[in-house]
Amino acid sequence: MSVHPLAGKLAPQSILVNVPELISAYFTLTPDVQKSTEKVAFGTSGHRGSSLKRSFNENHIFAVTQAVCDYRKEAGISGTLFMGMDTHALSWPAQLTALQVLAANNIDVRIAEKFGYTPTPVISRAILTHNQKAQPLCDGIVITPSHNPPTDGGFKYNPPHGGPADSDVTDLIEARANEILEGDLEAVNTVSLQDALQAENIQQYDYLTPYVEDLQNVIDMDVIAKSGIHIGADALGGAGLAYYAAIKERYGLNMDIAHDTLDSRFSFMHCDKDGKIRMDCSSPYAMAGLVALKEDFDIAFGNDTDFDRHGIVTKSVGLMNPNHYLGVAIAYLAQNRPQWRGDLAIGKTLVSSSIIDRVAADLDRKVIEVPVGFKWFVDGLLNGTIFFGGEESAGASFLRKDGTVWTTDKDGMILTLLAAEITARTGRDPGEHYKELTEKFGAPIYARIDAPATPEQKEILKKLVPEDVKEKTLAGEPIEAVLTNAPGNDAPIGGLKVVSKNGWFALRPSGTEDIYKIYAESFVDEAHLGRIQEEAKAMVDKLL
């Protein structure tokens, strides 16, 4: 994809979303259930869409919330439902719609005080801490489209394990929601908004205080505070608006905080690679504003809109590639958490950098490589068999200092604060630590490219088997493995991965767009990476 002329530039007024139009469309436009693009569709991170495209409207939320209620009843889940929302404009009306259904179904719900905003990891932590102490089991809903553009809305369900729902659950919810839509919402139990807001089973709850207080049990907040390092924290206008200020006050940090007031147009953002506003804290284009200030801080960072992802900005390199930071975080944690057992493994997605494998081998730690999606790390984090689970798209979580679970969903805040801990304890920022890793293990070059694919072609790519690859070499090296199932858990990857000694590529069809993605990495040089990408594309063309 070519770089748009607006990439890295402050968003012009002309592309800002018309919030009244967006919210009006949410209530007035209805989906055509005969069109697949207007049905409820759960991807790896829930149902997402835009009211302007009739893919995220009031009818969708009525249907999907009732479907969650029906699922809870069938699964025997009767505890409190913890609900959070982010700062996308569509999140507010979607929460109000959901509350009408939840109140009518007599679900005990906790929403943030004063109808505030709540990060995804805070909901995960709330579910887990409650379920460790009491019965009946609790679960949660997070209304967010993650880092998607301001026009979008999203709806995620987290079952009692606290992490993203697996496909066996989301398939049931999706099918039931679309059945309800096709039945003109007759199956929806609902009350008026006024009655919902006055219902005894809908209660406001302080999510912020227990999360902030508990941070000291997963991050060494004392070493950060005592070091006095100058921290730059960019909330990017997201669900953690109030969290960094509370963290700064509670722990006495030398922290400057930016963009911590509500702006659902996200007018302060710099445009992403394609010229759109996207709160992607791993994009050097979207994060250009903070990168420009890197010399002002010892360490700086930002988060996406629901605060489940992290972007680390250092003086030494600017915005770190997420893969690079994962390697640094793993190496540091393995050596600076003395209470952790020595046999704990590391979880990574199969499209994450192989530098993680080299770091793990040096630490004598097992790597559990799984398909794309954080849901694959839930059991390992919950049971304390992996100390870290991370994915290439800047999402990760890790255990408490005592080796017990913190969250089973991605937590961008503990990853950003870990960067501060690393800088404070070692006197070197994560970028400098990564340079040391490359001197020891080699410097990988990683890239992802997208290519068009029809729905029929995407289906072919999903069903590939290793025998479909006839080639014996990749960029001049013998092919060592062809994978269609992840080696860590034997789950289908929905695509293909080809591995050689000093490089690899993986291809996956997109679940939401008519494209497929080629992830590739070389431990040699840019030219070698280019050969891998070219040969990967040629292999795909033969297969299609």
Q: Which residues are catalytic?
A: 146
Strand (E) or helix (H) holding 330: helix 322-336
Distance CA 286, CA 262 (A): 18
With tokens 């999140």, the residue in question is 91
Distance CA 352, CA 372 (A): 9
CA angle, residues 142, 47, 388, in degrees to nearest 5 = 60
CB atoms within 10 A of CB 428: 14
CB 269 within 8 A of CB 148: no
Residues of 294-315 as b/e, b for ≥16 C-beta within 10 angstroms?
beebbbbbbbbbbbbbbbbbbb
| Alpha carbon 125 to its chain's center | 15
Strand order in the sheet with 492-500: 445-452, 515-522, 503-509, 492-500, 481-485
Q: How many residues does the chain have?
A: 544
Helices and strands of the chain, counted as H and E runs: 17, 23
Torsion of CA 360, 364, 366, 371, to 10 degrees: 10
Distance CA 409, CA 470 (A): 38
CB atoms within 10 A of CB 193: 13
**Which of these, 114, 83, 76, 116, lies nearest to 98 by C-alpha position?**
83
> Which DSSP category does 2 fall into?
P
Distance CA 70, CA 145 (A): 23
Distance CA 276, CA 222 (A): 39
> Kind of pairing, strands 473-474 and 445-452?
unpaired
CB 120 within 8 A of CB 91: no
Q: Two tokens at 541?
A: 């063309």
Alpha-helical runs (H) found in 377-429: 378-383, 412-426
CA angle, residues 229, 233, 238, in degrees to nearest 5 = 160
Q: Two tokens at 438?
A: 């490359």
